[in-house]
Structure 1
Amino acid sequence: MSVTELQKLVRFLEDRFACAQACTECARVCSLRASLADLDGPEDQQLIRRKGILCAEVCDTTCRLLAEQVTQSEDVMRAQVEWCRTVCLETAHAFDRSPGSEEDAEACRDCARACTEFLALLR
């Protein structure tokens, strides 16, 4: 393996790990936000709860997929990470409409950024 190939592999693994870490953090904050939402509250709160639950599940699945060694094809990995990025951005927008959710929205955006950076390596 050449030095260039090794550098590409190291960058790939670093970005994969950063994406998995961001997914884990996003899943944590989305689960917490969803648990705080009032089930019988206004429709906006119910939407935030549903978005938070979905985002936590997608991020958790993405993190598990990224943690696997070479068992997933690049196409499967790309599709999952793209879905994660989309869900994180949608959830961040939903959190933006909820006072006190600014940090949670930022965690979702951080995850979306990490997904974008990782996807750049897969192209």
Structure 2
Amino acid sequence: MTSTTSEQELFRFLEDRFACAQSCAECARAGALRASLVDPDGPKEQELVRRKGVLCAEVCDATCRMLSEQSGLDEAGMRVQLEWCRDVCLECADVFDDHPGAQGSAKSCRECAQACMDFMATLR
């Protein structure tokens, strides 16, 4: 991290990632539950929501772990991880937008993507 990237910015970013991961995991669980019941959207739609939610939660979690555990990580590596997290969050938000009841998770994913961009801006 650069001198312009404070610990407070990192902690705020990690809190945002954790909240997004929780939201996506919850949406994935809800999608799996609905898929196990008779659902008018069909199992393909539910499976896509479940897969994207799980992927987003895992990427957010991996990003948190990498940033919190790698004190000597170079900024290029951090930037790649942040870009990946941003891209997955935006893809997940697009899938959630089309799923009834998942709008809150879509919003969390977009906020997560924005936080990734904001955090990248603090890097050199």
TM-score (norm 1): 0.85
RMSD of aligned residue pairs (Cα, Å):
1.7
Q: Does residue 103 of structure 1 match 2:104?
A: yes
Cα-to-partner distance string for 1:53-112 (whole Å, 9 max, x where unaligned)? 000000000011121252311111110011000000110110000011111111111111
Letter in 2 for 1:15: E
Which residue pairs with 1:30 in the alignment? 24
Q: Does residue 75 of structure 1 match 2:69?
A: no
Runs of 5+ consecutive residues of structure 1 not aligned to the other structure: none
Alignment of 1:39-58 (within 5 A): 39=35, 41-58=42-59
Residues 15 and 117 of structure 1 are in contact (CA less than 8 Å); yes or no, is this contact kept in structure 2? no
Q: Runs (4+) of structure 1 moved beyond 4 Å?
A: none
Which residue pairs with 1:61 in the alignment? 62
Identical-residue share of aligned pairs (%) = 47
1:18 pairs, out of 12, 15, 24, with: 12
Letter in 2 for 1:52: G
Residue 122 of structure 1 aligns to a residue in which SS? coil
| Displacement after TM superposition at 1:20 (Å) | 1.1
Residues 97 and 106 of structure 2 are in contact (CA less than 8 Å); yes or no, is this contact kept in structure 1? yes
Bigger Cα displacement from structure 2, 38-47 vs 77-86: 38-47
